[in-house]
Structure 1
Amino acid sequence: MPEQSSLSAYHLLLQLEQQFDALLATIEAAVSLYEQQQPATWVFNQTTPTTHWLREALFDMWHEQDQDGRETRNYIAIVAANDELLTAASAVNQAKARFSELLQDIKQAFPQTLSEAKSRLPHRHPHVDEVLRRNGLARLHLKQSWRQLPIAQAPVSRVRFAWYSSGRSIKRLSVQEAEHKLLQLDTEAPHIRIQLRKLASIPSGEVLAQVQTQAPLMRANLFFTEPLEDGHTRRALNAAMPIFVPDNNQRLPHINLPASQPPTTRTRARRRDEKLEQDVFLPSLRIYRYR
């Protein structure tokens, strides 16, 4: 039985390597087509985009030294693509999706082999020596490898970019779960003991909220020249990767010029119905009480 399990894991690893090769080949086909066609392009913070900027963006799948694994590098751009280039971008998305699905299969069935898979894949990259020299270590950044390329469903008349810097994720926790997390910290530290006492003073059935502030991101509103089949005339999306829009006689849609850096203070009004207390309850865990 263990031999059969090892064989299954080996087969999945082989499939993953083959799919990674297919992903790289699909990206190469798309960027080569882009470099050949040189379509109208707008790249954030670049007056004149370099010929190879899309290659750099789509092949960027690596951790940089000291990079937080939760962070990803952004490539904010608009490409006015003809049908051939739109098809190539869609093929990249399909290859990314299949690669992501295989990784999830390995993670669920053979979690112990995931680190092996991540260490083997970089050496299949055609420029791995360059990556190793540049970064000192080639580690695959999974989030950057599978994130999709936004593709507009129809011709776009204008694009409005704006920084979104007040996003956050909220995870509901029980008092018992919060206590367990606190006990994993240095319980001899005075500030941890104070938080444990605070936690013990509230009802055991109370639900708490752990808040994670998200990094600022650029959002794009695409305004279509005609309503879509569902009647919508615009679509909002995160602009972390180049957005491919159908070319309109080889012209870009009208694009506003967003600030080069995200705002340092909150720009949106605080919601009146916000349900969390304003002051953090357990600072070490970013846990708040509900009002």
Structure 2
Amino acid sequence: MQDDQHPGPAEPQYRLLAELEEAFDTIINRIEALVQCFREQNRERNIGAWALHHPTPDADWLRAALLDFWYQDGQDGRTTRSYVGLIAANQQMLEHVAKVNAAKDDFADILAKIREHAADLIPEIKAVLPFRHPALHAHLTGQGLARLHLKQCWRALPVANAPLSRVRLAWYSSGRSIKKLSVRDAERKLLALDTDAPHVRIQLKRLAGIPDSESLAQVQKQAPLMRANLFFTEPLADGRERRAMNVALPLFIPSTNGLLPDHNQPPPTPQEKRTRAKRNDERLEDSPFLPSLRIYRYR
């Protein structure tokens, strides 16, 4: 019988959980402080702010965007919701943004340790953390929202690292990640599936019919995302005059006068059909060779 005075094997796991809860609280508190800073400054003078899907992005809009940590019913766990916007930020506001991002980094680091050493805690985390903040948990009622979306908790707030002369926003909807695999890699992935299933057996047989030396490609289509091309007022120390970055959350832009730089108005949704020509290096077959794993052969 285990002595109650000695910690059980689960104690380190729950120490990590306690650290994560504290990090989550810090994220919430620092976001609230950032929103309050925006609210107070906007009360003194109108802060330059623009949002893709909101005509009047005020402090309430910013709070709702930054505290949207939830899965919607049926949401793909690999996707996150976007709140595209631009905010003119003075030094005080930028300091609040830096504190929020530091808290998010801490949260992500602790979560990575939990995934490595105590992955069975993840379902409990998604269920328990929302109850620590009743005002946040109220969002779950009647809005089709479900458990906590951990990635939406730790994704960083985008920041321009110098004043900008202009911003050009554009949807990028043709992205995909391509990972090269060997035949043996593909076989291991297939064997991890239900090998009693007929469609898996068919794919294993198909794989056995090609040379072991052949390279294969696993393809993952990426959700449409907004890209921002930032043009700096002056060249950076490294000589760069522009930078491109993804902006799933409002982009905070250094500004001493509260005004936004020149920016365009992108369409509210990405175009359904791809308009850019296919890259010359797209050498994959049109149909997947192993459909269950999205694995293609090269032409």
TM-score by length of 1: 0.91
Per the alignment, residue 68 of structure 2 pairs with: 60
What SS does structure 2 have at the residue aligned with 1:277? coil
Deviation for aligned residue 1:172: 2.6
Identity of aligned residues (%): 52
Question: Are the aligned partners of 1:128 and 1:138 in contact in 2 as well (CA < 8 Å)?
Answer: no
Per the alignment, residue 76 of structure 1 pairs with: 84
Structure-1 separation of matches of 2:56 and 2:139: 25
Per the alignment, residue 57 of structure 2 pairs with: 49
Residue 122 of structure 2 is aligned with which of 73, 95, 114? Answer: 114
- 1:31-46 aligned at under 5 Å gives the runs 31-38=35-42, 39-46=47-54
Q: Which piece of structure 1 moves more, 6-15 or 270-279?
A: 270-279
What stretches of structure 2 of length at least 5 have no aligned partner? none
Structure-1 separation of matches of 2:184 and 2:196: 16
Which string of whole-angstrom CA distances, capped at 9 and with x for unpartnered residues, describes residues 240-263 of structure 1? 011000115221111111112111
Q: Using a 3 Å threshold, how does the CA distance of structure 1 residues 180 and 32 change in structure 2: closer, same or farther?
A: same
Structure-2 separation of matches of 1:283 and 1:7: 43
Structure-1 separation of matches of 2:136 and 2:55: 30
Question: Are the aligned partners of 1:122 and 1:138 in contact in 2 as well (CA < 8 Å)?
Answer: no
Per the alignment, residue 215 of structure 1 pairs with: 223
Deviation for aligned residue 1:12: 1.5
Structure-2 separation of matches of 1:273 and 1:129: 48
1:22 is the counterpart of 2:30 = no
Which string of whole-angstrom CA distances, capped at 9 and with x for unpartnered residues, describes residues 224-274 of structure 1? 000011111111000101100011522111111111211112222212133
What SS does structure 2 have at the residue aligned with 1:170? strand
What SS does structure 2 have at the residue aligned with 1:74? coil
Q: Which piece of structure 1 moves more, 73-82 or 193-202?
A: 193-202
Structure-1 separation of matches of 2:291 and 2:116: 33
Aligned length: 290
TM-score by length of 2: 0.89
Question: Are the aligned partners of 1:65 and 1:135 in contact in 2 as well (CA < 8 Å)?
Answer: no
Partner letter of residue 14 of structure 2? Y
What stretches of structure 1 of length at least 5 have no aligned partner? none
- 1:207-246 aligned at under 5 Å gives the runs 207-246=215-254
Structure-2 separation of matches of 1:129 and 1:193: 45
Residue 12 of structure 2 is aligned with which of 1, 8, 11? Answer: 8
Which string of whole-angstrom CA distances, capped at 9 and with x for unpartnered residues, describes residues 265-285 of structure 1? 222221213342344322333
Question: Are the aligned partners of 1:131 and 1:138 in contact in 2 as well (CA < 8 Å)?
Answer: no
Per the alignment, residue 127 of structure 1 pairs with: 135
Structure-2 separation of matches of 1:204 and 1:159: 49
What SS does structure 2 have at the residue aligned with 1:52? helix
Q: Which piece of structure 1 moves more, 50-59 or 3-12?
A: 3-12
Deviation for aligned residue 1:136: 5.7
What SS does structure 1 have at the residue aligned with 2:10? helix
Residue 206 of structure 1 is aligned with which of 214, 223, 232? Answer: 214
What SS does structure 2 have at the residue aligned with 1:139? strand
Q: What CA RMSD, in Å, does the superposition of the two structures yield over aligned residues?
A: 2.2
Structure-2 separation of matches of 1:59 and 1:127: 11
1:172 is the counterpart of 2:185 = no
